[in-house]
Structure formats: C-alpha cells, structure tokens
Amino acid sequence: MKRIVIVYLVLLLIPFSYGAVKTYSIRMPVSAVIMESDDSGKTWRQNGVMPVTYVSAVSQLKACLGSQGWKLKQTILLGNATDRTLMNFEKGKKKITVMVWKIKLTQAGFSWGIVE
C-alpha cells in the first residue's frame, strides 16, 4: 500500500517538475469542458470535466488523442480500478500525462500536462 501511494505521488508530480513551457496544440473531446488552463509549466496544463461516465471519459480521451497521432504508452490504474487512471502518451519526442478520475456516476474529471 505504501509503495502504491509513493508511486501515485511521484507520477502526480511529473507534470509539475518541468520549468520549460512548451506549446502543445491538443484538442480535447467534444464533451470536455475546460475549467482551467495554465501555461506556466509548473502545474497541469489543463483541467476540466466531462459529463460522461468515467469509463466513457477514458475511452473518449484515448480515441481523441489517438486521432491526433498520440500513442498510448502506459496506463496506470490508481486505487480502485474503476475510479482513477494515469495515461502516458507520446507523439514523436513529445510526451504528455493525462489523469482521469470519477467525480460521480455521470461525470469525470481530467487533467493533462507536458512531460519532458
């Protein structure tokens, strides 16, 4: 359990650990509502919600990013396998981490950040 918490904290902080700001043009699914954007390079690039189930949000994000040329390289289930997921994508030398979590039955939250 302690190991899982440490891995979770390390992976959660990955997008925060890079000072250089890069501009990545990433289109989110149509159902996504962007709540915050931050170009500072010190936190998640965007945060938002999707008015769909957690499973549907994960599927939509994978499909949307895949259609833009992003390749899913790693999926990490956090806690209960049905409520939080980290996904690492690559496109050439560019890398992003996407986190998706269940807010309620028909709403999911998401964040994504740039990884170097």
pLDDT number for residue 79: 80
What pLDDT is recorded for position 11? 47
Q: Which of the residues in the chain have pLDDT under 70? A: 1-23, 81
Output the pLDDT for position 81: 67
At residue 75, the pLDDT reads: 96
Return the bridge partners of 72, or none.
89
Q: Three-state SS across 28-44?
A: CCCCCEEEEECCCCCCC
In the chain, what are the domains? 2-115 (3.30.310)
57 close to 76: Cβ distance less than 8 angstroms: no
Residue 5 to residues 2, 9, 12, 97: CA-CA distances in angstroms?
5, 6, 10, 18
Percent of the chain with pLDDT over 90: 69
